[in-house]
Amino acid sequence: MVGRYPFKHSANLEARYAIHNIVHEDKLPVDYGAIPHAIFTSPQIAAVGVTEQSLKRQGKKENEDYLKSIYRFINIGMGLTIEDHEGFVKFLIDKQSRRILGCHNIGKDASVLIHEVSVAMKVSDSMGNIGTIDNINRTVHVHPALSEVVARAASQL
């Protein structure tokens, strides 16, 4: 395997950097921040960033170093409509900076929903802070759309 992640979308990212570095004199290292991945099972599983297990292995403690939020699909209008009793979104954020460390999503269209979080992790807020949960909290979500589950999980933080 060449590169950091064994995903086609990661290879596409690396190819863009390779082309840039071949064509331009200013060489750029590949930015591997916020690489999402998905497993197309039923239900779908998707994630971006770190896992809670990896934070604990680093000696990080919940409520001291990081905050966690879990919101279930069944608790939003569309989740009720599709009767998804299993699906959920889980956020992990840095307690001090509010930066999104990771997001995990299991349920219908998880592979689509994770993109909102990937984008939020890459952009700056109005204060210049990169990748904060506030990027999602300031965004208006359609009701009753499945993406509300991301908004509700974020709003708990």
Q: Which residues are catalytic?
A: 143
> In Å, how far are 1, 117, 121 from 35, measured between CA atoms?
17, 10, 10
CA distance 47 to 104: 4
Are the C-beta atoms of residues 93 and 66 closer than 8 Å to each other?
Answer: yes
CA distance 35 to 7: 9
Indicate the residue type of 26: D
Total H helices, total E strands in the chain: 6, 5
Structure tokens at 103: 């997001």
CA distance 66 to 56: 10
